[in-house]
Chains A and B, each alone.
Chain A
Amino acid sequence: EAQVTQNPRYLITVTGKKLTVTCSQNMNHEYMSWYRQDPGLGLRQIYYSMNVEVTDKGDVPEGYKVSRKEKRNFPLILESPSPNQTSLYFCASSFGSSGRRVEYFGPGTRLTVL
């Protein structure tokens, strides 16, 4: 089954404790993204990657890191989480063809930073 998987689905942590949220896709997509979703603010892009070893900042990159060593994986790293990073996070992968860009989203990771 074609899908994007994220782990963990739920995480409660404390300020300053490094964490990684994993993301994997099995659709051989070149483009992957991380979003955060907050009430009233919608989906905002954190980082994206157009291919292996190619990453760039989205709209809200502060406090986050990513890496893309393999095509299928795109982990999101919070080196020193803070309470304002409490949010719902989505990983997505997409194809682009003839001007289209269909993002396929994972199930989400609910992060709470105390």
Chain B
Amino acid sequence: GESVGLHLPTLSVQEGDNSIINCAYSNSASDYFIWYKQESGKGPQFIIDIRSNMDKRQGQRVTVLLNKTVKHLSLQIAATQPGDSAVYFCAEKTQGGSEKLVFGKGTKLTVNP
């Protein structure tokens, strides 16, 4: 597969464990955050998003937590499976202007059977 990044932060977990992937953002004016999953050789795939007026949002097996005080975002994956192995990116958007997403560099998650 294609490598999406060298020297990425990595997280290795056992199958069935919960995973927590962290992301620090820099712009206190960001009002929207989103997580993507990128498997080897594929484009990024949307997982879950959250607006800044919330501090927690849950999806299927995933939860995003937002702490605006310390500008920190996390993605929790419950009962991690081998198919969850991928690079995970967070992105932020600032209200108004170009509406563009600014992406973090990613974390590589490896799930061991």
Interfacial residues, chain A to chain B (CB-CB below 8 A): 4, 31, 33, 37, 39-45, 48, 50, 56, 58, 88, 90, 92, 96, 98-108, 110
Contacts and interface: CB of A to CB of B under 8 A. Distances in A.
Contact of B42 (A40, A92, A104, A108): A108
Contacts of B106: 42
Contacts of B25: none
B95 to A, nearest CB: 7
Question: Interface on chain B toward A: helix, strand, loop, or mixed SS?
Answer: loop
Contact of A99 (B32, B43, B98): B32
Given A43-B89, A100-B51, 17 more contacts: A39-B3, A40-B5, A40-B105, A43-B103, A45-B101, A48-B98, A58-B98, A90-B43, A92-B43, A99-B31, A100-B32, A100-B49, A101-B99, A105-B36, A105-B44, A105-B45, A108-B42
Contacts of B99: 31, 50, 96, 101
A16 B39 CA distance: 32
Contact of B103 (A4, A40, A42, A108): A42
B13 interface: no
B43 A40 contact: no
| Best-surrounded residue of B32, B43, B95, B98 (most CB of chain A within 10 A) | B43
B64 interface: no
A88 B105 CA distance: 15
A45 B7 CA distance: 21
B100 A48 contact: yes
Nearest to B32: A99
